[in-house]
Amino acid sequence: MSRLETEVQYLKGVGPRGATSLQKLGIRTVEDALFNFPRRYEDRRNLPPIRSLQPGQTATILGQLISVDARPIRGGRVISSAIVRDGTGKITLTWFNQPWVKRQLEGKTGSVVAFGMVKQTVAGLEMASPEWEFVADDEAAEAFARIMPVYALSDGVAQRTVRAACAGALAYLDDLPDPLPPELRRREKLPDLAWSLRQIHAPDSEIDRLRARSRLVFEEFFYLQCGLAQRKQSTQTEVGIAFPIKALLAGETVVAAEARTLFDPAERTGLQGQPLMAQVEAMLPFTLTGAQQRVVREIWDDMAKPFPMNRLVQGDVGSGKTAVAACALLAAVRSGYQTALMAPTEILAEQHSIGLRRIFEPLGIRVELFVGKNSAAQRRSVQAKAESGEVDIAVGTHALIQDAVKFRNLGLAIIDEQHRFGVMQRKALRDKSEASPDVLVMTATPIPRTLTMTLYGDLDVSIIDELPPGRTPIKTHWKTTSQRDWVYERVREVIGQGRQAFVVCPLVSETEKMNAQAAEDLYSRLQNEVLPDLRIALLHGQMKAKEKEDIMARFRDREFDILVSTTVIEVGVDVPNASVMVIEDANRFGLAQLHQLRGRVGRGAHASFCVLIADDSSEDVRQRMEIMRETTDGFRIADEDLRLRGPGVIAGTQQSGQSGLRIADLVADSKMLTVARAAAIREVGLNPGLTGDEWELARQRVAEPRNDMAVVTVS
Ligand code: ADP
Ligand code: MG
């Protein structure tokens, strides 16, 4: 057993009790402690004098402990306080409902270090709920006056204990091998692992700490990117289908030799003779935009290659991804292959099947819908058709990737609204065919470039960065809660003109149940008090899928004037007659989400508008509302969102609380991400399996499931 497996209870200052508490942080062994990185640092070499503190400033202070107190307040709770003083002034530290603070400080002589936000009150300077630490008078000054690591804590775990574990673990660094080969470290000018860990936990200087940090950030990104590069490379060595795109463009009637099609496409009207591009123009009721044409070319180029396509198409809401998909489908079907289009919900699948039938049935191309709500007999029938090759385009939900569905010769799979699908589903689709089918993923979530690299680093990316002409831009208004009645009066007017409206209420809590309750409350207030004369429906996440689909379908068919819902309507639903989107408590949403919601309107010929209801409670809210008013550019919004809220939110990982990254920050470290990505592509290019002794540890790290996280947790 490696010494790194030594349990932390044997380290000085930890002991069995400390070790038990450390388990809450996932720290059991010396190795766990070494990789438990500090959350921040306190530079105690130069603390500000108390008198110099400014209200609003976040600071670390050191002062002699003067007195401790605790006084009860309403509801049986307690406020603890301590007064500390240095040569220049004094400050009161307060803690809400932490009665143990008094117990821990009472009767002690020494100093307190506290970190928090400084406030000015009538009684003088105050720091509410600071992080704190007691320093006994006899502690050596030099042990104190340095850059101190501050670790994340959990209930009942003391900062002191985590520090002891991490400091004690440093004695074992000699046993720790460096997974990055010396050659790579030299080229990237990276310090070794042992030095870096020492500097991360006990920095000699700010420069050393930063250098150590970059090495650890590089390493973390490097493993992730090696995994993606390997995945990408393995699909490029896989045998795929080389669609005869060149011949189709020239107007030849061809069927790929391997297609094993039952039918000769040439026998079907519309599938013969015409050059592919001319046929696209004939089958669509509009001309493709420049961006659509470029992306279609990129897709067709991929399809022509002999290995499987793995491409992501990013295009804002309404940018016309369906038409692009149709072009890919046409090329595959004309080559004699079957295709599949997957959508995240039944209603979206149904919407696609209707649209695609309109385009393709006149050409003799057969579209079938595969959804869970089909009766058993229907299901058997469409499955039989898929298996025998009597379906050219299978449209469906995840029902499509269920085991029972087999294809005779699936050549292309398109996944709409990627963020609801994970890698596993992509793989399941791929496994449905002998030769790996081409895979095209379409998403309306504009993702900043740095994130695209991490989330979809194994995909090639196409961007539709242009909207079809002639759209009336959606006008966005920002109103405060006191103007709410006025807003609903305007909604009534628009409905009087024959339009429909969405009203979105926010996720108010972590639990779906409480969110549903909030939606119900809003619904009954609108229906009973504000707009009793209108037909209002309610939609929330607690309803059964079937119920939701039903409500959505009836709203689309204009049985209701207003749909009150939680964010379940976020993805791709098309109700062209809906021209108003009211978003209650808009301050509770991130920009990307507001943008997605807003995209539910403006899909028809009518002028549309979006009303954000939010009180301007903070600078941050003001900024977000202004950005929404200013722009409808999804990429700009995504960048601003990343800047204001950080990456976890966009990736949809914040609920699970894991960005998966231990030290790297996708925003702040985006330069290093690029460096690590380039290094990973080079190393995997030279040595795809990362074989050889010097790569052994790195190889294991790359294979760790954590390195799949970025993609998998996009839920
Ligand atoms: P999304 O990218 O959000 O999936 P859709 O494919 O649903 O967008 O297209 C949105 C609307 O724009 C549809 O009504 C579609 O018919 C229309 N559309 C798409 N491309 C064009 C174009 N090049 N010219 C005019 N209208 C277009
Ligand atoms: Mg779409």
Name which residue sits closest to atom 10 of ligand 1, judged by CA: 318
Domain span holding position 531: 474-631
Ligand 1 proximity of 315 Cβ (cutoff 6 Å) = yes
Final residue belonging to a domain, choices 592, 612, 631? 631
The answer on 343 and 409 residing in a single domain is yes
The answer on 517 and 620 residing in a single domain is yes
The answer on 604 and 587 residing in a single domain is yes
Ligand 2 center–CA 57 separation, angstroms: 47
Tokens of 108: 């002690």
Question: Is 454 a domain residue?
Answer: no
The answer on 488 and 346 residing in a single domain is no
Could you tell me the pLDDT band of residue 156, with boundaries at 50, 70 and 90? confident
Name which residue sits closest to atom 26 of ligand 1, judged by CA: 468
The answer on 374 and 249 residing in a single domain is yes
Could you tell me the pLDDT band of residue 267, with boundaries at 50, 70 and 90? low
Distance in angstroms (rounded) separating the CA atoms of residues 480 and 228: 46
pTM over 0.95: no
The answer on 590 and 484 residing in a single domain is yes
The answer on 268 and 128 residing in a single domain is no
Ligand 1 proximity of 190 Cβ (cutoff 6 Å) = no
Ligand 2 center–CA 302 separation, angstroms: 21
The answer on 113 and 20 residing in a single domain is no
The answer on 260 and 375 residing in a single domain is yes
Distance in angstroms (rounded) separating the CA atoms of residues 339 and 299: 15
Ligand 1 proximity of 318 Cβ (cutoff 6 Å) = yes
Q: Which atom of ligand 1 is nearest to the CA of 572?
A: 3
The answer on 505 and 605 residing in a single domain is yes
pLDDT of residue 606: 85
Residue to substitute in 287, 319, 445 for testing ligand 1 pocket (most ligand atoms within 8 angstroms of CB): 319
Question: Is 715 a domain residue?
Answer: no
**Per-residue DSSP letter, 171:** G
Q: In CATH, what number is assigned to the domain containing residue 63?
A: 2.40.50.140
Final residue belonging to a domain, choices 391, 425, 443? 443
pLDDT of residue 83: 96
117 CB contacts (<8 Å, ≥6 apart)? 56, 57, 58, 127, 128
pLDDT in tens, 30-50: 999 999 999 889 888 888 999
Question: Is 704 a domain residue?
Answer: no
Final residue belonging to a domain, choices 631, 654, 677? 631
Ligand 1 proximity of 288 Cβ (cutoff 6 Å) = yes
Which range among 368-372, 400-404, 418-422, 492-496 shows the weakest confidence by mean pLDDT?
418-422
Rounded (10°) angle between helices 276-283 and 321-334: 130
The answer on 430 and 416 residing in a single domain is yes
Q: In CATH, what number is assigned to the domain containing residue 417?
A: 3.40.50.300
DSSP per residue, 515-553: HHHHHHHHHHHIIIII-TTS-EEEE-TTS-HHHHHHHHH
Question: Is 336 a domain residue?
Answer: yes
The answer on 130 and 172 residing in a single domain is no
Number of domains in the chain: 4
Q: For residues 679-703, give the mean pLDDT.
A: 93
pLDDT of residue 604: 75
Task: Name 148's bridge partners.
Answer: 42
SS3 content of the chain, % helix, strand, coil (to 5): 45, 20, 35
Nearest of 37, 39, 34, 35 to residue 11 by alpha carbon: 34
pLDDT in tens, 635-672: 788 778 777 765 544 444 333 333 467 888 776 787 89
Distance in angstroms (rounded) separating the CA atoms of residues 153 and 663: 16
Question: Is 222 a domain residue?
Answer: no
Ligand 1 proximity of 413 Cβ (cutoff 6 Å) = no
